[in-house]
Amino acid sequence: MEGVRLTIALIIAIILQWTLPGVWEGFAFIDFPLIVVVYAALQRNSIRALLFGTIAGISVDALSGGLLGASGFSKTLVAYAVSEMARRVYLDNLILRIPVIAGACFVNDLVYYGVHRLLGQTPTADPVTTVAYSVIGTTIAGTLVYLAMQSFSADRARMRKRKEMFAPRRQTRRRNPIRLGK
């Protein structure tokens, strides 16, 4: 069930990434698919995170002016790094997740820029400004998304607890104390 929810979230993130920069250019600095990829990696499911990284990256590359596979490469690398980190370090706290998403975005942008330079393609945008804006935008958006998800899952946990507290008592079958016929 968790996998289905995350897949839907990833599809929505890719659609947002495709369309929102057309509405306002500033949205290009928010990496919506990366937020979902990092979230999936934080769930300690490395395989899902890696596949999400590749699919999200290639989908974004398809409509970008950059090389096809460059974003897939960087997001796959970030997904693996975050899932390995989540396996070794406790990262279930929201405060700890904020630097993780910022770091993931920074590494993702650096790798993306690096592979383009490596293959002789120089991105148009100024790297320092773009990385800085991208880290700020994605960290803010990621924090808000994680905050919303945390409060959503806390609400669900509270509901479950309440249900358990006021659950109808199990009706045990009693034997008739007056045994008829004996």
| CA atoms within 13 Å, Cβ hemisphere of 25 | 3
57/142 with CB nearer another protein = 57
Determine if 4 is a binding residue for another protein (CB under 8 A): no
**Phi/psi-derived region of residue 69, left when phi > 0, alpha when psi is between -120 and 50, beta in every other case:** left
Among 37, 38, 77, 104, indicate the residue that binds another protein (CB under 8 A). 77
The answer to whether the CB of 49 falls within 8 A of the CB of 81 is: no
Only one of the segments 10-18, 91-99, 147-155, 164-172 lies at the binding site for another protein (rule: CB under 8 A); that segment is 10-18
E-state strands within the chain: none
Smallest gap from residue 154 Cβ to another protein (A): 25
Determine if 102 is a binding residue for another protein (CB under 8 A): no
Smallest gap from residue 99 Cβ to another protein (A): 22
Buried b (16+ CB within 10 A) or exposed e, 37-48: bbbbbbeebbeb
Determine if 76 is a binding residue for another protein (CB under 8 A): yes
The CA distance from 14 to 32, in Å, is 7
For residue 177, give both structure tokens: 């104390």
Furthest C-alpha separation in the chain: 97
Residue 19-38 contact track with another protein, rule CB under 8 A, x = bound: xxxxx-x--xx---------
Residues 105-134 that bind another protein (CB under 8 A): 112-113, 115-116, 119-126, 130, 133-134
The CA distance from 133 to 127, in Å, is 10
Determine if 45 is a binding residue for another protein (CB under 8 A): yes
Q: How far out from the chain centre does Cα 126 lie?
A: 27
8/154 with CB nearer another protein = 8
Determine if 52 is a binding residue for another protein (CB under 8 A): no
Report the interface residues with another protein, using CB under 8 A.
Answer: 15, 17-23, 25, 28-29, 44-47, 50-51, 53-54, 57-60, 62-73, 76-77, 80, 83-84, 87, 112-113, 115-116, 119-126, 130, 133-134
